Amino acid sequence: MKLAEALIERADLQKRAAQLQQRIQLNARSQEGEPPSEDPVALLAELNGIFDRLDDLIPRLHRSNAAARLDESRTLTDALAHREVLDLRLAAQRSATEAASTSQVRSTRSELRWVSHLPVRELQARTDRLARERRELEAEIQQANWQHDLLE
Q: Are residues 77 and 97 in the same domain?
A: yes
Q: Are residues 60 and 79 in the same domain?
A: no
Q: Are residues 56 and 76 in the same domain?
A: no
Per-residue pLDDT, 102: 73
Per-residue pLDDT, 32: 93
Reported confidence tier of residue 111, pLDDT bands at 50, 70, 90: confident
The alpha carbon of residue 33 and the mean position of all alpha carbons in its chain are separated, in whole angstroms, by 44
Per-residue pLDDT, 116: 82
Cβ 47 vs Cβ 24: under 8 Å: yes
Q: How far apart are CA 86 and CA 100, in angstroms?
A: 21
Cβ 79 vs Cβ 141: under 8 Å: yes
Q: Are residues 60 and 89 in the same domain?
A: no
111 in a structural domain: no
109 in a structural domain: no
pTM for this predicted structure = 0.82
- Residue 142 structural domain: 70-102+116-152
Q: Are residues 147 and 91 in the same domain?
A: yes
Instruction: Give residue-wise pLDDT tens across range 119-128.
Output: 899 999 999 9
Cβ-based neighbour number of residue 3 at 10 Å? 23
